[in-house]
Amino acid sequence: MIGTTSDGFAGFERSGGTWAYYNGAAAANTGVSCVLRQWNHVVICRNSSGNGAFFVNGTRLATFTDTANKANFGNLQIGYNGVAGGRYTTGYITDYRYVKGSNPYNPLSTTLTVPNAPLTATAETMVLLSSTNAAIFDATGRNNLETVGNAQISTSVKKYGTGSMYFDGSTSNLVAPYSPKYSLGTGDFTIEGWFYFTNLGVSLRGLVALGDGANGNGPVYNAWSLQYLGSEGSNQITLSRYDGTVYTYATSGVTLVANTWTHIAACRSGGVLRIFVNGISYYSAANTQNFGTINTNPLRVALQYYGPATAYSGPRYWPGYIDDLRITKGFARYTANFTPPTSAHRLR
């Protein structure tokens, strides 16, 4: 469950169903069975004298003595046993905390008090994964989303349910690691969602984009990007691609309203691309453009890295709220003017 790639501390459940630990020098099996399908609180700790202990659900199951230097233990692994290799945890982990230099628990005690509230970070806390933003998730279960910057759930501004995604326009976005499934190719597709614009005065911004040049991953190419053109583009919506040549398909005549929910959808059906705003088509034309992947860069929400024009180069963060974002590959959900959805999308 908690491990490293070489010489660090690790706590894990062996295939035999019993709790075990590895202190960086020797592995030991406690012989105590793990109860499946319930939350288990696990602690492995060591004090400055080298006294260590392994606790499960408040009970000390084992002790050890180890004064070895843990200065070089490779990569931290969560949900994976890097010592034995290839052994992944099946289950859930929350409130993971790694503290270095002090000890919130006493390894000399036979018991400890299991926390009944989310853990907090101390000055010596190196890692704290409290899962407070885990409400931002992919309902299909097919993608891993990372919240970056101040991306978070808002319960005060929402279209459906109990909350929406909030982006501050300066640092926050969602990132999904590269996958070929995001390549829309030359076939039918639908990109849609509810967008709440908090500032219509900004310049070009990315709503959803595939591919970028961040972190030194090559030129700033975008396989496809749903954009808000902003003040320099008459506040229109566009679907674009940049592979060394700029391809842009923009709406005309759209009047957006700040601080209200707007449904935006880009669809291609049978070689015709349409861009809808609140169910009305503001762009429609024949289109066979290949929106296939260019590199192995990620999918981003509320951010596009832009490169074709020097004036717009760099990260273009979008400020506002997004609800019910859905990307469908191989199927055009809208081929004519329509009434925007009145309830949250279903998995179909």
Chain centroid to Cα 129, Å, comes to 14
CB of 291 closer than 8 Å to CB of 184: yes
Which residues lie across from 171 on neighbouring strands? none
Tokens describing residue 129: 């994964």
Question: Does residue 252 have a pLDDT over 50?
Answer: yes
- Compute the C-alpha angle 327/332/337, nearest 5°: 110
Question: Does residue 200 have a pLDDT over 60?
Answer: yes
Which residues are CB-contacts of 344 (< 8 A; sequence separation ≥ 6)? 160, 161, 324
Which residues are CB-contacts of 15 (< 8 A; sequence separation ≥ 6)? none
How far, in Å, CA of 269 to CA of 284, rounded? 11
CB of 12 closer than 8 Å to CB of 30: no
Confidence of residue 312 (pLDDT cuts 50, 70, 90): low
Question: Does residue 253 have a pLDDT over 70?
Answer: yes
CB of 223 closer than 8 Å to CB of 294: yes
Instruction: Give me the pLDDT at residue 134, please.
Output: 56
Question: Does residue 311 have a pLDDT over 60?
Answer: no
- Return phi, psi of residue 232, to 5°: -80, -5
- Compute the C-alpha angle 21/110/8, nearest 5°: 25
Instruction: Give me the pLDDT at residue 216, please.
Output: 45
Other C-beta atoms lying within 10 Å of the C-beta of residue 184: 26
Higher pLDDT, 19 or 68: 19
Instruction: Give me the pLDDT at residue 166, please.
Output: 95
DSSP conformation class of 297? P
Higher pLDDT, 139 or 109: 109
User: Could you tell me the pTM of the whole model?
Assistant: 0.66
CB of 3 closer than 8 Å to CB of 75: no
How far, in Å, CA of 153 to CA of 333, rounded? 27
Per cent of the chain over pLDDT 90 is 44
The candidate with the shortest Cα–Cα distance to 53, out of 41, 40, 66, is 66
Instruction: Give me the pLDDT at residue 211, please.
Output: 81
Instruction: Give me the pLDDT at residue 81, please.
Output: 65
Residue 37 CB-density burial (10 A; 0-12 exposed, 13-18 middle, 19+ buried): exposed
Per cent of the chain over pLDDT 70 is 81
List, for residues 117-163, the tens digit of each pLDDT value.
Answer: 878 878 888 888 766 555 566 666 666 777 888 888 888 999 998 88
Which of 63-77, 188-202, 275-289 comes out lowest in average pLDDT?
A: 63-77
Question: Does residue 214 have a pLDDT over 70?
Answer: no
Which residues are CB-contacts of 69 (< 8 A; sequence separation ≥ 6)? none
Question: Does residue 255 have a pLDDT over 90?
Answer: yes
Which residues are CB-contacts of 21 (< 8 A; sequence separation ≥ 6)? 9, 10, 11, 12, 27, 28, 30, 44, 54, 62
Q: Which CATH class is domain 146-329?
A: mainly beta
Tokens describing residue 241: 């691609």
Instruction: Give me the pLDDT at residue 339, please.
Output: 97
> What are the residue boundaries of the structural domains of the chain, listed by start?
2-129, 146-329
Confidence of residue 35 (pLDDT cuts 50, 70, 90): confident
Which residues are CB-contacts of 219 (< 8 A; sequence separation ≥ 6)? 213, 244, 307
Instruction: Give me the pLDDT at residue 296, please.
Output: 83
